[in-house]
Structure 1
Amino acid sequence: MGLLTFTPNRTRIKICGLRTPTDIEAAVAAQVDAVGFVFYPQSPRAVSPEDAGTLITQLPASMDAVGLVVNPTPNQMEEIRANAAITLWQFHGDETPEQCRRLSGGLPWIKAARIGQSFNFPEFSLQYGDAAGFLLDALVDGYGGSGTAFNWNLIPDTWANVNAHRVVLSGGLNSHNVGEAIARLRPCAVDISSGVEVRKGVKDPVLIRQFADAVRSADQTNPSSYS
């Protein structure tokens, strides 16, 4: 179905920063909707385009392969495209709307936003109106993967309701707090990386399963008002 297929009472799940066949096996077994490959060399979760391409061959057709990039050059994007069958791009840096449109090469794309006290939600969604999704992450040093949650109260209720079909909530999620996040915000999808790791860059199949189960339990416990 894909990461950004909005269905009431069915929160989509993305596991980000996968690097090994075992990671992929765990994500497939948990029946998540998308997996993310980090093409940012400074990240402990970085993977080469060639390795990502091999891992993607293990995915079922219904699962999105998300390519996470940070201020990429056209050459970097071409190298990824030539080696890995990415289905959805995630721009996690300071890319402008025009750069996102151009670099995406016609594929759907998500724009990440780092949420701080003064973040302007209406301006952001207007500026990046062509995005298929908005990934909301914590405002921290660097570009994501910190395991830090942000204050969900900063998200205006009206904005969250209008944009629910393309909000991907990230930042410090785990199997213990994702239920509250879903009950409060009703995002289209949730995204996790460090919350399913035993140490930076090393995923735990048990934690992946527990997170997926927690999301599905929250969907059943807190039915949405959407119809």
Structure 2
Amino acid sequence: MPPKRRTRIKICGLTREADVRAAAALDIDAVGFVLYPGSPRAVTPERAAALAALLPPFITPVLLFVNASAAEVAAGVTAVPHALLQFHGDETPAQCAALAGARAWLRAARVPLTPGATGFDLLEYAETFAAARALVVDAHVAGYGGGGQTFDWTAIPWSHPRLRAADRVVLSGGLTPENVTDGVRLVRPWAVDVSSGVEAAKGIKDAQRMAAFVAAVRRADAALPPSPAV
């Protein structure tokens, strides 16, 4: 009998010890730290290291960079040497590969809120960034993520071989405890990534909303058929 489906969960933009502890007590897989000074959720590499030290085994720290220099990325990975890297700016495939070195990395894909508005082609983008371990498919908003906006999930052929949602897509952008069940049901992604949807204020997570988000994902998992990709 195929194994039961389990969507992976990442909670991003944590800045406080209490929030890291609350998140780590839940059935999640990764925690994100934003190393982008322009973000209200930004932390320094040293702060990220202190917060990551609170994580138990098998919850992965993820360092989010936006158009960072090689020195900035090096400072991050020195501080949190076991982290996964996420590039969320305008980095090219070559820049991502050079900055990551031998490390696995994720690439954000910023989908327009109106399909086709900027000529963005997610399938072409996925092929261009084929070396990324996964695509974090986010909404294109002013700035770089955390805008609380969703894009049209029904406008994308998620099962296309270039996307392979079930084993390569991390669904992001405006997810909340109220809508993530629909997101999992429609997209069937490998993982979901939430930030603003579980906050009391920017950079301040709400423990009850984090728990409600995880519960909503698990309800969606329970309602879907087992996936051979799990």
* TM-score (structure 1 length as normaliser): 0.92
- Which stretches in structure 1 are left out of the alignment for 5+ residues? 1-6
Distance 2:4 2:190 in 1: 8
Structure-to-structure mapping, 1:21-36, within 5 angstroms: 21-36=17-32
Partner residue of 1:199? Answer: 201
Match among 209, 212, 217 for residue 210 of structure 1: 212
State the AA in 1 paired with 2:24.
Answer: V
State the AA in 2 paired with 1:215.
Answer: V
The offset of 1:158, in angstroms, is: 3.5
The offset of 1:155, in angstroms, is: 1.3
Moved more, 151-160 or 109-118: 151-160
Distance 2:94 2:186 in 1: 33
The offset of 1:58, in angstroms, is: 1.0
The superposition leaves residues 115-163 of structure 1 with CA deviations (integer Å, 9 ceiling, x where unpaired) of 0223212211111010000011111111000011111122114327734
- Cα 1:170–1:157 shift into 2, 3 Å: closer
State the AA in 1 paired with 2:50.
Answer: T
Distance 1:8 1:115 in 2: 30
Q: Is the 8 A contact 1:87 1:108 kept in 2?
A: no
State the AA in 2 paired with 1:216.
Answer: R
The offset of 1:8, in angstroms, is: 5.8
The offset of 1:218, in angstroms, is: 0.9
Distance 1:81 1:90 in 2: 12
Q: The residue matched to 1:158 in structure 2 has which SS?
A: coil
RMSD: 1.6
State the AA in 2 paired with 1:91.
Answer: F
Match among 82, 104, 112 for residue 108 of structure 1: 104
Q: The residue matched to 1:9 in structure 2 has which SS?
A: coil
State the AA in 1 paired with 2:98.
Answer: R
Distance 2:85 2:4 in 1: 24
Distance 2:164 2:30 in 1: 23
The superposition leaves residues 20-41 of structure 1 with CA deviations (integer Å, 9 ceiling, x where unpaired) of 1101111111121000000011
The offset of 1:100, in angstroms, is: 0.5
Distance 1:163 1:196 in 2: 23
Q: Is the 8 A contact 1:121 1:159 kept in 2?
A: no
The offset of 1:86, in angstroms, is: 4.3
Q: Is structure 2 residue 216 aligned with structure 1 residue 176? A: no
Partner residue of 1:65? Answer: 61
Partner residue of 1:155? Answer: 156
Partner residue of 2:123? Answer: 122
Q: The residue matched to 1:172 in structure 2 has which SS?
A: coil
Distance 2:226 2:186 in 1: 10
The superposition leaves residues 32-90 of structure 1 with CA deviations (integer Å, 9 ceiling, x where unpaired) of 10000000111110001001101111111201100000001011011112222342111
State the AA in 1 paired with 2:219.
Answer: S
- Which stretches in structure 2 are left out of the alignment for 5+ residues? none
What is the aligned residue count? 221
Q: Is the 8 A contact 1:91 1:111 kept in 2?
A: yes
Partner residue of 1:87? Answer: 83
Identity over aligned pairs, percent:
46
- Cα 1:19–1:86 shift into 2, 3 Å: farther
Distance 1:92 1:154 in 2: 22
Partner residue of 1:222? Answer: 224
